[in-house]
Amino acid sequence: MARVTFIQSDGRQQTIEIENGYSVMQGATANQIAGIKAECGGSCSCSTCHCYVDPTWYDRLPWAEDDEAGLLEYAWEPKRTSRLTCQLIVTDELDGLVLYVPEQQV
């Protein structure tokens, strides 16, 4: 299980616990994290679960596969640290992960 902190564009923070094997998106939607729309339900076919990974965490995550990288081009204001939360699978190593929720999703 991992604790993941979501920081909204206005600075509000919410830390949730997500079981190993679930995606960060599943944890976010189950805990009603504002701004995580997840319109495709986690099938990596939209970019509405887009977040910015805290720079201290970015290089500790597995690299984005080609399909995710392609979708990130359509995310709202993508950055170098952008990821789709549906593609981040929780392990103990993600305990303490910090994500910034964009001001809006596409």
Q: Which CATH class for the 2-100 domain?
A: alpha beta
- Other beta carbons within 10 angstroms of residue 12's beta carbon come to 10
- Percent pLDDT > 90 in the chain is 99
What confidence score (pLDDT) does residue 106 get?
A: 82
Where do the domains of the chain lie?
2-100
Would you say 38 and 45 are in contact if contact means Cβ atoms under 8 Å apart?
no
Q: What is the pTM of this model?
A: 0.95
Q: Report the C-alpha gap between 35 and 49 in whole angstroms.
A: 8
pLDDT exceeds 90 at position 15: yes
Which tokens in the block code for residue 85?
A: 């939360």
Res. 45 pLDDT band, cuts 50 70 90: very high
- 6 burial (CB, 10 Å; 0-12 / 13-18 / 19+) is buried
- Alpha-carbon distance of 69 to 83, in angstroms, equals 8
Helix H or strand E segment including 88: none
Locate tokens 């339900």: which residue? 41
pLDDT of 23: 98
pLDDT in tens, 69-86: 999 999 999 999 999 999
Q: How confident is the model at residue 4 (pLDDT cuts 50, 70, 90)?
A: very high
Q: What is the mean pLDDT of residues 3-13?
A: 98
Helix, strand or coil, per DSSP, at residue 76: coil
The predicted model gives 36-54 an average pLDDT of 96
